[in-house]
Copies of this chain bind each other. A is one copy, B any other.
Amino acid sequence: MLIRTHVGVSLDGFMATPAGLPTWDLMPTFGAGSHGYAELMEQCGAVIVGRTSFDQGFEDWLKGWPWPGKPVYVLTSRPLPETAAEMGVVASQGGPVGIVAQVRASGLEKDVQLLGGPSTVRAFLEAGALDRLGMVVLPVLLGTGIPLFATEPTAFSQEAWTASLAAPAATNPRSRLVLEHQQAFPDGAIHLVYRPESRRDR
């Protein structure tokens, strides 16, 4: 049982426009099941949804439930609407590690789709609870929007560079990743699936 994301990002790193429209939706070639999504749905037997994504999508999902027969867990500290409970949606307060334990305890054999925005993806990454970081790099530049990764940008400074040459410090990346799968699509989108190096498959 592996926890997998499948997020679409622009080449400059945005998951969505400033208004929250997924970058996917800017691609005329994007459709139901495209860009590896159908394969992901095949692999996964349950879904974990971040609360922001749940609130953004729920009304729309009610028009045609995207995960019939699959348990849906929502990571949240607030109660869900009553209609959600009627659809069998489970609210989980345990955070990334707790929710993964909860899904595992259910005896699920297939993988789990993690559906969420930047804070959900990052929370799972940081908790060591994400097994596969799957993303589709879309061939567009947005320039502005909601980025997948938090950025703490610095500008180049000759002084900082000179100082670092005089006193070299260990520079390790925050984390290393292992590329497990890559596939280019005819529209120029690229599907990349990474395993955080710290993860071992269970």
Contact = CB atoms under 8 A, between A and B. Distances in A.
Contact of A164 (B19, B152, B194): B19
B20 A164 contact: yes
Contacts of A175: 140-141
Interface stretch (A8-16, A76-84, A87-95, A99-107): A8-16
Interface residues on A, range: 35 or more
A177 B141 contact: yes
Tell me the number of copies of this protein: 2
Contact of A146 (B14, B139, B146, B156): B156
B176 A140 contact: yes
B16 A13 contact: no
Given A158-B56, A171-B26, A146 B153 contact: yes
Sort A-B residue pairs by CB-CB distance and give the 7 closest, nearest first: A179-B188, A140-B173, A19-B164, A12-B149, A20-B161, A144-B152, A143-B174
